[in-house]
Amino acid sequence: MQFTKLRIPKGTQDYYFDYLEKRSYIENKMRKNFELWGYKEIRTPTFEYFESLATGTGLELQESMFRFKDKGGRQLALRAEMTSPIARVVATELRSHPLPMRMYYLAPMFRYEEPQSGRQREFWHAGIELFGSSLPDADAEVLAVFITTLDDIGLKGVSVELGHVGLFKSIVEEAGLSLDEAAAIRRSIDKKDDASLETALKEVDVSSAMKDVFRLLPKLRGDISVTKKILDNVDNENVEICIKNISDTVKLLELYKLDSRVMVDLGIVRGIDYYTGAVFEGFVKDLGTALGGGGRYDNLVGEFTGESIPATGFAIGVDRCHLALEKQGFKFPLKNSPQILILYIDQELKGEAVKIAVNLRKLGLSTEIDILERKLTKGLEHANKRGIPYVVIVGKTEFEQGEVVVRNMEKEMQEKVKIEKLKNYFQK
C-alpha cells in the first residue's frame, strides 16, 4: 500500500469551494423547510455501540456498517443512518417529552458499499422523524415535507412511490413463510428483478397461487386503483388494512394538493427491517436511483426499552440531490466571494488599507487584503486569476487627496473614488 498518505479511501470525497457553496445552498433550503413545518434539530454521535446502531435495522444494513473496537474491546460502529440512534434518544433521554415530537437532522452517514455514481461510503442525510402518532395524518405530513423539501431546493419533476411493508409481511405470513425465509424474495421484489425473483421462488415451498401473488407485487404500480388488483388476488384482513392505510394517506395528501405527485407501488419493501407501515421513495427522471426514502416504524422505540411509540420519517440523500440538480442544469446562486481585493503600494499605508478593509466588511462586502506585499501588477494578475471583480488600490498620491483607485477587473476600467464614498460606490 504505497502513497496512501496522498489518497483518500474509496467512496470518500474532499469537498471545497464552489461545490461546498452549492451544497450549503441545498442544505440551507432543506433546513428552512424542516423548520417551517415545526421540526427541531437533533444530533447524535458519529460512532456508537454497534449493538445500539444495529437495533431494528436488519442484516443488510448491519453488514454495511464500518465496525471497530475501542481500546476496551467494545464493539463500535460508524452510524449508517439516523433513525435507530434517534429512536434510542426518544426511548431514553426524551422519554417524557410531550408528543408528538418533530425532529430533523443533516449529517454524514457511513456505509461500506461498492461506490458508484450516487453511492459513496461517506454521504449525507437530511431527514426528519415524527414520533407519537399512528394516524395516516403523520404519514401524509412526512410525505408532504419530503416533496416540498425536494421542490424547494429546485428539483423539477419529483415524484414519490408509496407502498406498505405490511403488505409483503402479510403475504409472507399467508404463504406460511418466515421473514428470514422470504429475505431473497424481498430483495428481488425491492430491485424489481424478475430473474432473481424466479430463483428465490424456486427455493421456497409455497402454493403456485401464492407464488403468483409475489410475482404480481412488483408489477402493481400506478394510481390508487392498482390496490384493487391485490385485493382481487388475496383474501387477507391485514392486506385490506394496509390498502386502506395507503388510500387514507393519499386522500390526506389531497389536502396539501400533493396527491398527484404520489404513485402507488405495492412492490416497495425497503432494505431496512424496522419499517411497519406505509413506506416510500422519491425520484426524478434524471437520476436512476432514489433521492430519498422513508416510512413508518412503530416498533423501533420499543426495541430499546419495551415501550413503543408510533413513528414515521424519511432521509434524503443530499449528495444525490446535488447530483440531480447538476444534471438538471440548476443555476445555483453563488455568492462570488471575495468581491474585493485591497492592494497598497506603500508599506506606510498598510494601516489605512486595513482600515478600509474593515469598513468594507462592515458593509457586508467580502474583502481580502494583500498579505504578500505584492507589487501592483502582480496583485492585479492575482485578482484576475481568482476572478475577484474589484481591486481597491491604496496609493500615496491618491490617499493624500482622501481617495483610492477602484479597478473593475471585468471592464478593465478604473476610477478614483473618495474613501468616504466607497460605500455608495459599492452599493451602486
Q: Which residues bind ligand HAM (CB under 6 A)?
A: 81, 83, 111, 113, 118-120, 123, 125, 127, 129, 272, 290-295, 297, 313-315, 317, 319-320
In this structure, what C-alpha cell is assigned to residue 403?
481617495
| 3-state secondary structure (DSSP) of residue 364 | coil
What CA–CA distances, in Å, run from 370 to 353, 362, 367, 384, 391? Answer: 9, 18, 10, 14, 10
Nearer to ligand HAM, 81 or 398 (CB): 81
Report in angstroms how near the CB of residue 297 gets to ligand HAM at its nearest.
6
DSSP character at residue 23: H
Nearer to ligand HAM, 111 or 407 (CB): 111
Report in angstroms how near the CB of residue 229 gets to ligand HAM at its nearest.
26
Nearer to ligand HAM, 295 or 310 (CB): 295
Q: Give the residue from 319, 263, 270 showing the smallest Cα distance to 294.
A: 270
Alpha-carbon span 11 to 8, nearest angstrom:
9
Pairing type for strands 122-131 and 75-78 reads: unpaired
In this structure, what C-alpha cell is assigned to residue 337?
466571494
Give the DSSP letter string of 24-76.
HHHHHHHHHHHHHTT-EE----SEEEHHHHHTTT-HHHHHTS-EEE-TT--EE
Report in angstroms how near the CB of residue 216 gets to ligand HAM at its nearest.
24
Nearer to ligand HAM, 121 or 407 (CB): 121
State the Cα angle at 55 between 238 and 181, rounded to 5°: 50
| 3-state secondary structure (DSSP) of residue 107 | strand
Length of the chain measured in residues: 428
Report in angstroms how near the CB of residue 357 gets to ligand HAM at its nearest.
41
Report in angstroms how near the CB of residue 275 gets to ligand HAM at its nearest.
7
Residue 193 backbone zone (phi > 0: left; psi -120 to 50: alpha; other: beta): beta
Residue 164 · residue 242 · CB < 8 Å: yes
Q: What type of residue is 70?
A: D
Report in angstroms how near the CB of residue 294 gets to ligand HAM at its nearest.
4
First-last CA distance in the chain? 57
Report in angstroms how near the CB of residue 301 gets to ligand HAM at its nearest.
12
Report in angstroms how near the CB of residue 87 gets to ligand HAM at its nearest.
9
Q: What type of residue is 256?
A: Y
Nearer to ligand HAM, 252 or 272 (CB): 272
Nearer to ligand HAM, 44 or 339 (CB): 44
Nearer to ligand HAM, 324 or 422 (CB): 324
Residue number with the smallest Cβ distance to ligand HAM:
317
Residue 422 · residue 402 · CB < 8 Å: no
Give the DSSP letter string of 308-342.
---EEEEEEEHHHHHHHHHHTT----------EEE
| 3-state secondary structure (DSSP) of residue 354 | helix
Report in angstroms how near the CB of residue 82 gets to ligand HAM at its nearest.
6
Nearer to ligand HAM, 213 or 290 (CB): 290
Nearer to ligand HAM, 298 or 352 (CB): 298
